Amino acid sequence: MRAAAFIATFVVGVPVLLTGCASSDDPKNDNQVAGKVAFVKNCGSCHVLARAGTKGTTGPNLDEAFQQALKDGFGRDAIRGMVQEQILYPNMNGVMPAKIVEGETATDVAAYVADAVAAKGKDTGLLADAVKPAGAGKPIAAQNGVLATEADPNGQLAYVASKATAPPGALEVTFKNTSGTPHDIAFQEGTNGPQLAKTEVITKGEDKTDIDVKAGTYTFFCTVPGHRAAGMVGTLTVK
């Protein structure tokens, strides 16, 4: 879901969607848990959606995109149809690929997004536990001079763990990324020090870099524009 003209497309398509594209299926039959998982994995790196915990940087903020439509009286069933239409037939001049998800998955994503956009509070019940909070993995510790790091595989702009520890000395940092979103990992001393080392930016695969660390605190982060600000950052404590 990456179209630059995402909001404009929705506004133009509202009358058609209200009369012909709002799904007749009962939204209660949609698997919104699966929809949330699929949204985070496929769309979360591009779009902000507060209830999903996503902080994407390249596409429109979905909460903001639908605020006016809701104020103007468009119901969430209409928004659901709008989202599904955009998934299947995005703006041809945008960068969002058509059918980034399809079939039942597209229906589930549309149902979840329609209920979640611009909604107050937080997800509850099964939805609250559908996706682990970004960076909430167990802190990683260097083993035998190797610090194994990984980007969140579920589409969040985060590393699996936001905290790491290592003893002083030479350290090999391995970085794994299976998310399909380009990421790297870089290190700086403290929070404002110069960049000391980084891996290559990779979309899927592994890379590594070497760094010599002394006792103290280091920051690791993704250098892809917008990713650090969105939360792809952590702390390495050396002692």
Q: How far apart are CA 97 and CA 79, in angstroms?
A: 20
Beta strands in 5-162 (DSSP E): 48-49, 54-55, 140-141, 146-150
Judged against a pLDDT cut of 70, whether residue 83 lies above it is answered with yes
Judged against a pLDDT cut of 50, whether residue 177 lies above it is answered with yes
* Stated pTM of the model: 0.71
Q: How far apart are CA 32 and CA 50, in angstroms?
A: 16
CA-wise closest residue to 98 among 8, 22, 3, 227 = 3
Q: Which two tokens stand for residue 105?
A: 């998955």
pLDDT (tens digit per residue) in 35-67: 999 998 888 888 999 999 888 888 899 999 999
Residue 20 DSSP class? I
Instruction: Report the CATH number of the 6-128 domain.
Output: 1.10.760.10
Could you tell me if 158 and 135 are in contact, meaning their C-beta atoms sit under 8 angstroms apart? yes
Start-end of CATH 1.10.760.10 domains in the chain:
6-128
In sign, the C-alpha dihedral spanning 24, 30, 34, 36 is positive
Q: How far apart are CA 40 and CA 37, in angstroms?
A: 5
Q: How many CB atoms lie within 10 A of CB 160?
A: 21
Per-residue model confidence (pLDDT) at position 94: 74
Judged against a pLDDT cut of 60, whether residue 71 lies above it is answered with yes
Per-residue model confidence (pLDDT) at position 19: 32
Q: Assign domain 140-238 to its CATH architecture.
A: Sandwich (2.60)
Start-end of CATH 2.60.40.420 domains in the chain:
140-238
Question: What value does the mean pLDDT of the chain take?
Answer: 86
